Structure 1
């Protein structure tokens, strides 16, 4: 099967979308005749060297947008350039007589980028798309620290209703993938031919099994960027509800504007002595933190997917999260506790109650640990994910 895979970046040495795209390409290249189309960032390892099993076509990434990396990551100002180059490349290759079975715009993940894969007479796929989750009303007042450009997300729903190029991109796609079922509701303004939920994340392999849980002492772990939506402040407040459990501690790994606010909250509530804020830590150090923790607490209340959840499950950690967005799709009752969202006060109380429940029931923690590993093994390993994606491609061709 001849497949063209498009993403602004593929890079096994990077993080975020570029890394996830690389892992998809690496896994798919063993199953299909793969061509990848992308921008090549100066100073990064050549994509052709990273993906020897695929045909690689790249164009230089403009340098100017990278001076504001967060803005660049969110808005993708180089997308129009890549759109034009990909459209021209496909036209030229088809005119030369080359054939492709499936075109797939894997990234960007946000549902705001018209595709250059339309109008070439070849079945095309978009996604997994993610994002667009509204902030629960009870949490809006505490999200004012976000950078100004994040408010531009408010235009996405308007564009899904009014932007003809964006609407045609999705309406004419043979298949649109979403990181979780909620994306079907986000994309509801567009009449889709077919929608399937496919989590964009995967895992290379399982961590060694954890020893059976014993005792009521718990080491809680939170990993994530230091922004309000990741829920760290809610976990800190939960620790205040656990004032009678000095054997329960919390470690936070992540950097950002929210960390100072969470630290101040811990001081105000008198729980700073039971919380360790590590800030940004190297990748291998994060893996060690997963191995040493007993429970992963990640009540992110606007999480499109949740890569750290897969990392925690891979390590066999029971997870406390929320019944909203990506976590609600990733977790099940065997490996996680999903809490309702109403107000920050209610969430912190619910987190504390869930922590107490797990602390007092080591046998349940052990069962959840085993279920977490089994879930990742069944659906999260990259070979399994690539196998499913090729199955979806085959269904398109049969139709």
Structure 2
């Protein structure tokens, strides 16, 4: 089939939305001929990768708005407006491309939010939307963990999502005209209006490349410190404050515990203050942003991967930690709650901040004291991570397209 893809974010060797765009495009291209409309500033990295590893049946079309509109991209406030205008601009480009190539499917990949518009449904050809998320919100009881700025931001975002699903005519048209809607979490799947549920499928958006992964968990050493690792951008929704509070409780009972935090972000200063206030600053090491190779080395040396994120749909770093063989302690919520099973980690219920902190500390203590359990979960983590290999996800995408094509032929 001839497939047209809309992928605002699409870049090789990246996580988050750029990685979703790139890897989904690669998997679709294993079975179909693909034309991809993406941002012009992605061109350099994409062309470098294609020169190293050519893919004959992918055609990239690079598009950007006029330079005088670039001011919208400065900071997060204007990205939404820039994105909306970009989507409108590529609609007219897509019409010209469709007239030339006669596509069988148009697939909108990124941004994958259920409250951000796409005009691809108006091409009047079969439309696939997703993987989309956006319904993953911070539980109300946990907003007390954030500053006023972040509480305001989260409230505004929740309002935009509600407005989009209930009132935005562009989003309502996307829901109506979609042949298939791909939800990236059960939370998002559950907010899809009832009349469209029958055409909604659940696929976690991210995956892991197995071929370039050679790091293995190091054998535990006797009388060694119990090393806990957390990796991510230091922002409010990642749950770093919960992790530090839980670690403070653990240290009172297990003084050989150490906590390494990798990542940078706006909450760095506040998190360091929290560590000092809890009198554990000598036990918590903020390593800042590190190259991926260094991150993987730390993973190989750690005992447990702590990841109490309050909102993630998919977590690339979580897959890598699992593939290394790290047992996971996370919340039973959103993406991590669906990725992690009892065979590879311990999931904590999400009720109140106090309960989560206590339960995280208990889970860490349990793993610190039980080497056999850590080994069992380590082996389970490797097996579970392999389940999310990109090539396997490609087969799932292939079947979705196959089923979709069968439905079209029966009409």
Flag whether TM exceeds 0.5 (same fold). yes
* Worse-matched range after superposition: 152-161 or 315-324: 152-161
Q: Which residue of 1 aligns with 2:386?
A: 377
Say whether residues 1:99 and 2:102 are aligned partners: yes
Say whether residues 1:367 and 2:376 are aligned partners: yes
**For residues 87 and 148 of structure 2, what CA distance do their matches in structure 1 show?**
33
**For residues 38 and 215 of structure 1, what CA distance do their matches in structure 2 show?**
51
Aligned partner (choices 116, 123, 128) of residue 125 of structure 1? 128
Q: What are structure 1's unaligned runs of at least 5 residues?
A: none
Q: Which residue of 1 aligns with 2:281?
A: 272
TM-score (ref. length: structure 1): 0.91
For these two proteins, the number of residue pairs brought into alignment is 394
Match of 2:289, SS state, is coil
Aligned partner (choices 159, 162, 171) of residue 167 of structure 2? 162
Contact 1:40 1:61 in 2 (8 A): no
Contact 1:9 1:17 in 2 (8 A): yes
Q: Which has the higher helix share?
A: 2
Distance 1:308 1:144, change over 3 A: same
Say whether residues 1:234 and 2:238 are aligned partners: no
Shift of 1:212: 4.8
TM-score (ref. length: structure 2): 0.89
Q: Which residue of 2 aligns with 1:85?
A: 89
Match of 1:191, SS state, is helix
Q: What are structure 2's unaligned runs of at least 5 residues?
A: none
**For residues 133 and 370 of structure 1, what CA distance do their matches in structure 2 show?**
29
Match of 2:312, SS state, is coil
Q: Which residue of 2 aligns with 1:332?
A: 341
Give 1:187-206 correspondences, 5 Å limit: 187-188=192-193, 191-205=196-210, 206=213
Q: Which residue of 1 aligns with 2:39?
A: 39
Distance 1:282 1:328, change over 3 A: same
Cα RMSD (Å) of the superposition?
2.3
Shift of 1:107: 0.7
Contact 2:72 2:81 in 1 (8 A): no
Shift of 1:20: 2.5
Shift of 1:149: 4.9
Distance 1:246 1:207, change over 3 A: farther
**For residues 138 and 366 of structure 1, what CA distance do their matches in structure 2 show?**
34
Contact 2:72 2:82 in 1 (8 A): no
CA-to-aligned-CA distance 1:140-181 (integer Å, 9 cap, x gap): 122225456554312211220111221110222111111111
